[in-house]
Amino acid sequence: MDNNMVIHQQPDRVTVVEVGPRDGLQNEKGVVATADKIRFIDLLSAAGYPVIEATSFVSPKAIPQLGDAAEVMAGITRRPGIRYTALVPNRKGMERALAAQVDEVAVFTGASESFVQHNINTSIAGSIENFRSVVEMARAAGMRVRGYVSTAFGCPYEGAVAPAAVLSVTEQLLALGVDEISIGDTIGVATPNQVSSLTALLKDAVPIERLAMHFHDTRGTALANVLAALQAGITIFDSSAGGLGGCPYAPGASGNLATEDLLYMLHGMGIETGINLEAVIAASRFLASVRGMAPASRYYAAATAER
Ligand code: HMG
Ligand code: MG
């Protein structure tokens, strides 16, 4: 057979979760005005995403950049068909998220103790305990819940992370009743073979359609990792417009995989997302003008140079 004709396993359609307004803007050095965040999210909404992670209801002492979460949620124009979600670390965050009428919440922990301690000031076991009432409150409100497992491929404080640790936290989140698990390469160290072996391990614990991948692109391996995950049957990917992103409690981590780069690859492979790439570029262009900085997206740079 002609080698060019070999078609590897791939889905027809993928769900792209836009995390730029949260993962991106939580890491900004300068202040992004509330009105600009609202405009950014409204522009993203025009691109037709299924899910936009709009903000976080965390402690404003921990993340002052997102202290205006309630104002942002109140100010955006919600489009039918888009789920607007937010991160919630505890009961207080859940109460604020309910008051802001988010469509879905995400609890977040990790596979390494030191990162979880730095990030949310508790142990992994303590985080699971805190999430119990958050998930109950979400259920009572008929809300979907996502669970993040950070540092799944490496920790900024401990180095290598055992796949068994990722599996254990994933199982604990599922036991709480979390609907979807997002596996986070928080510091962008993963390589494709690791993605293949971790997904093979997790597949037995989580139905594959409930598993998402959240790659940061610190070392340029994010798209290669997406390909490995696609071949393993994963159909949910997180990305951020323009490649914004990073966690203030993960030193050295850079932005998420850029949505533009992800869409270019998926659409080019014949995989549908329902998202308009040009509209994502328009949102990134707006935010770049606010930040006075060019986006990290490779596709954005190429598309801009061609114009
Ligand atoms: P703590 O200090 O242990 O909390 O922080 P506490 O319960 O002792 O409360 C301390 C103060 O914070 C109190 O106020 C609380 O009311 C207030 P005070 O009495 O001192 O005035 N507080 C809150 N205020 C508003 N909203 C809340 C809230 N909770 C407490 N929800 C805590 C623990 C978890 C709150 C804190 O560490 C925190 O907010 N951490 C969030 C850190 C964060 O957002 N990191 C980035 C997101 S994770 C990420 O980026 C990774 C991801 O992208 C995936 C990946 O890449 O791997 C998701
Ligand atoms: Mg992240």
What is the model's pLDDT at position 252?
78
Nearest CA to ligand 1 atom 15: 59
59 touches ligand 1 (CB under 6 Å): yes
221 touches ligand 1 (CB under 6 Å): no
**What residues contact 12, with CB distance under 8 A and at least 6 apart?**
270, 271, 272
Kindly give the distance from the C-alpha atom of residue 105 to the centroid of ligand 1, in angstroms, as a whole number.
15
93 touches ligand 1 (CB under 6 Å): yes
Q: Is residue 214 part of a domain?
A: yes
- 247, 258, 283, 287: which one is catalytic? 247
Helices (H), 66-123: 69-75, 91-99, 113-120
Asked if residues 226 and 250 have their Cβ atoms less than 8 Å apart, the reply is: no
Mean pLDDT for the chain overall: 95
Kindly give the distance from the C-alpha atom of residue 177 to the centroid of ligand 1, in angstroms, as a whole number.
22
What is the model's pLDDT at position 125?
98
Ligand lying nearest the CA atom of residue 69: 1
What is the model's pLDDT at position 29?
87
- Whether the predicted pLDDT of 1 surpasses 70: no
CATH (domain of 264): 3.20.20.70
Nearest CA to ligand 1 atom 45: 119
Q: How many other C-beta atoms can be found within 10 angstroms of the C-beta atom of residue 1?
A: 5
Cα–Cα distance between 300 and 291 in angstroms, integer?
Answer: 16
Q: Is residue 6 part of a domain?
A: no
Instruction: Give per-residue burial for 18-33: e unless 16+ CB within 10 Å, then b.
Output: bbbbbbbbbbbeeebe
- Whether the predicted pLDDT of 116 surpasses 90: yes
Instruction: Give per-residue burial for 99-117: e unless 16+ CB within 10 Å, then b.
Output: ebebbbbbbbbbbbbebbb
- Partners of 213 in the β-ladder: 183, 237
- The per-residue pLDDT for range 100-111, each reduced to its tens digit, is 999 999 999 999
Of 76-85, 219-228, 296-305, give the lowest mean pLDDT range.
296-305
Q: Using DSSP, how many helices (H) and how many strands (E) does the chain show?
A: 11, 8
Asked if residues 101 and 60 have their Cβ atoms less than 8 Å apart, the reply is: no
Which ligand 1 atom is at minimum distance from the Cα of 89? 34
Cα–Cα distance between 82 and 50 in angstroms, integer?
Answer: 5
Kindly give the distance from the C-alpha atom of residue 157 to the centroid of ligand 2, in angstroms, as a whole number.
16
What is the model's pLDDT at position 180?
98
Ligand lying nearest the CA atom of residue 87: 1
Kindly give the distance from the C-alpha atom of residue 187 to the centroid of ligand 1, in angstroms, as a whole number.
20
Q: Is residue 2 part of a domain?
A: no
As a whole number, mean pLDDT of residues 212-234 equals: 97
pLDDT class for 26, splitting at 50, 70, 90?
Answer: very high
The owner of tokens 């614990």 is 205
Cα–Cα distance between 267 and 3 in angstroms, integer?
Answer: 21
Output the DSSP codes for 142-199. T-EEEEEEESSS-BTTTB---HHHHHHHHHHHHHHT-SEEEEEETTS---HHHHHHHH
- Whether the predicted pLDDT of 220 surpasses 60: yes
The owner of tokens 């037709």 is 48
Q: Is residue 174 part of a domain?
A: yes
26 touches ligand 1 (CB under 6 Å): yes
- Whether the predicted pLDDT of 6 surpasses 70: no
Instruction: Give per-residue burial for 57-89: e unless 16+ CB within 10 Å, then b.
Output: bbbeebbebbbbbeebbeebebeeebbbbbbbb
Per-state percent for the chain, helix, strand, coil, to nearest 5: 45, 15, 35
- Whether the predicted pLDDT of 113 surpasses 80: yes
- Partners of 56 in the β-ladder: 87
Q: Is residue 241 part of a domain?
A: yes
Which ligand 1 atom is at minimum distance from the Cα of 184? 57
202 touches ligand 1 (CB under 6 Å): no
Q: Is residue 1 part of a domain?
A: no
Output the DSSP codes for 200-235. HHHTTTS-GGGEEEEEB-TTS-HHHHHHHHHHTT--
Range of the domain at 54: 15-305
What is the model's pLDDT at position 307?
65
Q: For the chain, what is the domain count?
A: 1
What is the model's pLDDT at position 8?
60
Residue 247 is a catalytic residue: yes
119 touches ligand 1 (CB under 6 Å): yes
Kindly give the distance from the C-alpha atom of residue 69 to the centroid of ligand 1, in angstroms, as a whole number.
13
As a whole number, mean pLDDT of residues 118-130 equals: 98
Q: Is residue 154 part of a domain?
A: yes
